[in-house]
Chains A and B, each alone.
Chain A
Protein backbone atom coordinates (compact mmCIF):
# COMPACT_ATOMS: atom_id res chain seq x y z
CA UNK A 1 0.00 0.00 0.00
CA UNK A 2 2.95 2.43 0.06
CA UNK A 3 2.39 3.57 -3.54
CA UNK A 4 -1.21 4.52 -2.90
CA UNK A 5 -2.30 6.42 0.19
CA UNK A 6 -5.74 6.92 1.67
CA UNK A 7 -7.12 8.20 4.94
CA UNK A 8 -8.12 5.25 7.09
CA UNK A 9 -11.52 6.26 8.47
CA UNK A 10 -14.53 8.34 7.51
CA UNK A 11 -17.74 8.77 9.49
CA UNK A 12 -20.73 10.28 7.72
CA UNK A 13 -24.37 10.86 8.54
CA UNK A 14 -27.00 9.06 6.50
CA UNK A 15 -28.16 11.24 3.61
CA UNK A 16 -24.98 13.34 3.53
CA UNK A 17 -22.27 13.07 0.87
CA UNK A 18 -19.09 11.07 1.53
CA UNK A 19 -15.80 12.03 -0.03
CA UNK A 20 -12.92 9.55 0.06
CA UNK A 21 -9.51 10.78 -1.04
CA UNK A 22 -6.52 8.96 -2.43
CA UNK A 23 -3.06 9.91 -3.68
CA UNK A 24 -0.97 7.72 -5.94
CA UNK A 25 2.60 7.82 -7.15
CA UNK A 26 2.84 6.32 -10.63
CA UNK A 27 2.15 9.06 -13.17
CA UNK A 28 2.07 6.48 -15.95
CA UNK A 29 -0.95 4.69 -14.46
CA UNK A 30 -3.49 4.14 -17.19
CA UNK A 31 -6.49 3.38 -15.05
CA UNK A 32 -7.46 4.14 -11.48
CA UNK A 33 -10.10 2.19 -9.63
CA UNK A 34 -12.36 2.26 -6.64
CA UNK A 35 -13.27 -1.02 -4.98
CA UNK A 36 -15.71 -1.69 -2.14
CA UNK A 37 -15.25 -4.45 0.45
CA UNK A 38 -18.14 -5.37 2.71
CA UNK A 39 -17.45 -7.41 5.88
CA UNK A 40 -16.46 -10.99 5.12
CA UNK A 41 -16.59 -10.46 1.37
CA UNK A 42 -14.21 -9.97 -1.51
CA UNK A 43 -13.57 -6.67 -3.24
CA UNK A 44 -16.16 -5.45 -5.68
CA UNK A 45 -15.23 -3.05 -8.47
CA UNK A 46 -17.31 0.10 -8.04
CA UNK A 47 -15.96 2.30 -10.77
CA UNK A 48 -12.80 3.22 -12.64
CA UNK A 49 -11.46 6.23 -14.48
CA UNK A 50 -9.11 6.44 -17.42
CA UNK A 51 -6.11 8.67 -16.80
CA UNK A 52 -7.03 11.17 -19.53
CA UNK A 53 -10.36 11.94 -17.85
CA UNK A 54 -10.98 14.51 -15.11
CA UNK A 55 -14.32 13.29 -13.91
CA UNK A 56 -16.66 10.35 -14.19
CA UNK A 57 -20.18 10.12 -12.85
CA UNK A 58 -22.10 6.91 -12.32
CA UNK A 59 -25.42 7.33 -10.50
CA UNK A 60 -24.54 8.31 -6.90
CA UNK A 61 -20.81 7.98 -7.51
CA UNK A 62 -18.57 10.76 -8.80
CA UNK A 63 -14.87 10.20 -9.41
CA UNK A 64 -12.54 13.17 -9.72
CA UNK A 65 -8.99 12.85 -10.98
CA UNK A 66 -6.32 15.52 -10.65
CA UNK A 67 -3.47 14.03 -12.63
CA UNK A 68 -1.08 16.90 -11.88
CA UNK A 69 -1.38 16.31 -8.13
CA UNK A 70 -1.89 12.54 -8.53
CA UNK A 71 -5.06 12.85 -6.49
CA UNK A 72 -8.19 10.75 -6.90
CA UNK A 73 -11.44 11.12 -5.00
CA UNK A 74 -14.72 9.25 -4.77
CA UNK A 75 -17.86 11.10 -3.81
CA UNK A 76 -20.93 9.13 -2.76
CA UNK A 77 -24.09 11.22 -2.83
CA UNK A 78 -26.94 10.58 -0.39
CA UNK A 79 -24.92 8.05 1.61
CA UNK A 80 -26.95 5.08 2.86
CA UNK A 81 -26.30 2.53 5.60
CA UNK A 82 -25.55 -0.03 2.89
CA UNK A 83 -22.59 2.11 1.86
CA UNK A 84 -20.79 1.24 5.12
CA UNK A 85 -17.74 -0.69 3.96
CA UNK A 86 -14.03 -0.38 3.25
CA UNK A 87 -13.21 1.50 0.05
CA UNK A 88 -9.96 0.82 -1.74
CA UNK A 89 -8.29 3.04 -4.28
CA UNK A 90 -6.07 1.20 -6.78
CA UNK A 91 -3.77 2.19 -9.63
CA UNK A 92 -2.73 0.03 -12.55
CA UNK A 93 1.00 -0.61 -12.60
CA UNK A 94 1.09 -2.18 -16.05
CA UNK A 95 1.16 -5.90 -16.81
CA UNK A 96 -2.29 -6.15 -15.21
CA UNK A 97 -0.81 -5.50 -11.76
CA UNK A 98 -2.84 -3.28 -9.42
CA UNK A 99 -1.43 -1.50 -6.39
CA UNK A 100 -4.00 -0.92 -3.65
CA UNK A 101 -4.24 1.67 -0.93
CA UNK A 102 -4.79 0.62 2.68
CA UNK A 103 -8.53 1.19 2.41
CA UNK A 104 -10.84 3.78 3.98
CA UNK A 105 -13.40 2.43 6.42
CA UNK A 106 -16.63 4.35 5.91
CA UNK A 107 -19.15 4.25 8.73
CA UNK A 108 -22.61 5.62 8.07
CA UNK A 109 -24.47 6.76 11.18
CA UNK A 110 -28.19 7.35 11.42
Chain B
Protein backbone atom coordinates (compact mmCIF):
# COMPACT_ATOMS: atom_id res chain seq x y z
CA UNK B 1 0.00 0.00 0.00
CA UNK B 2 2.90 2.34 0.72
CA UNK B 3 3.22 4.88 -2.09
CA UNK B 4 6.92 5.75 -1.73
CA UNK B 5 8.95 3.33 0.33
CA UNK B 6 12.57 3.66 1.37
CA UNK B 7 14.84 1.12 2.98
CA UNK B 8 16.41 1.04 5.42
CA UNK B 9 14.67 3.41 7.81
CA UNK B 10 17.78 3.70 9.99
CA UNK B 11 21.40 3.22 9.00
CA UNK B 12 24.34 3.50 11.37
CA UNK B 13 27.74 2.97 9.83
CA UNK B 14 31.40 3.83 10.27
CA UNK B 15 33.31 6.49 8.40
CA UNK B 16 34.82 5.26 5.19
CA UNK B 17 32.17 2.62 4.52
CA UNK B 18 30.01 2.42 1.38
CA UNK B 19 26.25 2.16 1.76
CA UNK B 20 23.09 2.20 -0.35
CA UNK B 21 19.57 3.42 0.26
CA UNK B 22 16.76 2.05 -1.88
CA UNK B 23 13.58 3.77 -2.96
CA UNK B 24 10.54 2.47 -4.78
CA UNK B 25 7.27 4.14 -5.75
CA UNK B 26 4.08 2.42 -6.88
CA UNK B 27 2.28 5.58 -7.99
CA UNK B 28 3.26 5.40 -11.63
CA UNK B 29 5.03 8.77 -11.35
CA UNK B 30 7.60 9.69 -13.96
CA UNK B 31 9.91 11.74 -11.74
CA UNK B 32 11.80 10.74 -8.60
CA UNK B 33 14.05 12.72 -6.27
CA UNK B 34 16.52 12.49 -3.45
CA UNK B 35 16.50 15.23 -0.82
CA UNK B 36 18.80 15.64 2.17
CA UNK B 37 17.44 17.06 5.45
CA UNK B 38 20.12 18.24 7.84
CA UNK B 39 19.96 18.60 11.61
CA UNK B 40 18.43 22.07 11.26
CA UNK B 41 15.64 20.58 9.10
CA UNK B 42 16.82 22.28 5.90
CA UNK B 43 15.75 20.28 2.86
CA UNK B 44 18.06 20.42 -0.15
CA UNK B 45 17.51 18.64 -3.41
CA UNK B 46 20.31 16.33 -4.45
CA UNK B 47 19.12 14.55 -7.58
CA UNK B 48 16.10 14.15 -9.79
CA UNK B 49 15.36 11.53 -12.42
CA UNK B 50 12.63 11.64 -15.02
CA UNK B 51 11.90 8.33 -16.71
CA UNK B 52 15.30 6.98 -15.68
CA UNK B 53 17.14 10.04 -17.01
CA UNK B 54 19.06 12.36 -14.67
CA UNK B 55 17.56 15.86 -14.86
CA UNK B 56 18.80 17.55 -11.69
CA UNK B 57 22.20 17.06 -10.16
CA UNK B 58 22.84 19.72 -7.54
CA UNK B 59 26.24 20.38 -6.02
CA UNK B 60 26.68 17.02 -4.40
CA UNK B 61 30.04 15.28 -3.86
CA UNK B 62 30.65 12.61 -6.46
CA UNK B 63 30.80 10.08 -3.63
CA UNK B 64 27.00 10.13 -4.04
CA UNK B 65 25.77 8.21 -7.04
CA UNK B 66 22.10 7.75 -7.87
CA UNK B 67 20.91 4.83 -9.96
CA UNK B 68 17.51 4.41 -11.56
CA UNK B 69 17.05 0.92 -13.02
CA UNK B 70 13.47 1.78 -14.00
CA UNK B 71 11.11 4.66 -13.42
CA UNK B 72 9.70 3.11 -10.24
CA UNK B 73 13.09 2.88 -8.50
CA UNK B 74 15.75 5.39 -7.55
CA UNK B 75 18.57 4.16 -5.36
CA UNK B 76 21.31 6.20 -3.73
CA UNK B 77 24.79 4.82 -3.26
CA UNK B 78 27.28 6.64 -1.06
CA UNK B 79 31.00 5.85 -1.10
CA UNK B 80 33.55 6.62 1.61
CA UNK B 81 31.01 7.93 4.10
CA UNK B 82 31.96 11.00 6.14
CA UNK B 83 30.63 12.37 9.41
CA UNK B 84 28.98 15.26 7.55
CA UNK B 85 26.86 12.82 5.57
CA UNK B 86 24.80 12.17 8.70
CA UNK B 87 21.29 13.38 7.90
CA UNK B 88 17.84 12.17 6.97
CA UNK B 89 17.56 11.32 3.29
CA UNK B 90 14.14 11.54 1.69
CA UNK B 91 13.05 9.99 -1.54
CA UNK B 92 10.08 11.56 -3.33
CA UNK B 93 8.18 11.20 -6.57
CA UNK B 94 5.87 13.41 -8.62
CA UNK B 95 3.80 13.25 -11.73
CA UNK B 96 3.32 16.97 -12.30
CA UNK B 97 3.76 20.31 -10.56
CA UNK B 98 0.15 20.60 -9.50
CA UNK B 99 0.12 17.65 -7.16
CA UNK B 100 3.55 18.36 -5.67
CA UNK B 101 5.67 15.56 -4.33
CA UNK B 102 4.86 12.38 -2.48
CA UNK B 103 7.59 11.70 0.06
CA UNK B 104 8.92 8.52 1.58
CA UNK B 105 9.27 8.34 5.35
CA UNK B 106 13.01 8.97 5.24
CA UNK B 107 16.24 7.14 6.01
CA UNK B 108 18.15 8.41 9.02
CA UNK B 109 21.84 7.93 8.27
CA UNK B 110 24.29 8.22 11.14
CA UNK B 111 28.00 8.05 10.40
CA UNK B 112 30.20 7.36 13.42
Contact with B along A38-53 (1 / 0, CB 8 A): 0011111100101000
Q: Is B98 an interface residue (CB 8 A)?
A: yes
Known: A31-B97, A33-B100. A43 touches B90 (CB 8 A): yes
Question: What is the bound-complex CA distance between A86 and B43, given in angstroms?
Answer: 12
For A, the interface residue count at a CB cutoff of 8 angstroms equals 26
B101 at the interface (CB under 8 A from A): yes
Instruction: Kindly count the residue-residue contacts between A and B in the assembled complex, taking CB atoms under 8 Å apart.
Output: 64
Contact yes or no, B101 A43, CB < 8 A: yes
Known A42-B106, A43-B90; judge A98-B101 contact (CB<8 A): yes
Q: Which residues of chain A come closer than 8 Å to B33, judged between CB atoms?
A: 96
Main secondary structure of the interface of A (DSSP, over half): strand
A60 contacts partner chain B, Cβ-Cβ < 8 Å: no
B interface residues, Cβ below 8 angstroms from A: 4, 31, 33, 40-45, 48, 50, 55-56, 90, 92, 94, 96-106
Apart from A48-B98, A97-B48, A103-B41, list 15 A-B contacts with CB within 8 A. A1-B42, A1-B43, A35-B100, A42-B92, A43-B43, A43-B101, A45-B99, A45-B102, A86-B41, A92-B97, A96-B31, A96-B96, A97-B45, A102-B40, A103-B43
Docked-complex contact A102 and B41, CB < 8 angstroms: yes
- Cα–Cα distance between A88 and B55 once the two chains are bound (Å): 24
Closest to A44 in B: B103
**CB distance A42 to B90 under 8 Å?**
yes
Across the interface, do A98 and B103 meet the contact criterion of CB distance under 8 Å?
Answer: no
Q: Which 10 A-B pairs have the closest CB atoms?
A: A42-B103, A100-B43, A42-B105, A43-B103, A45-B100, A103-B41, A1-B42, A33-B100, A96-B31, A92-B97
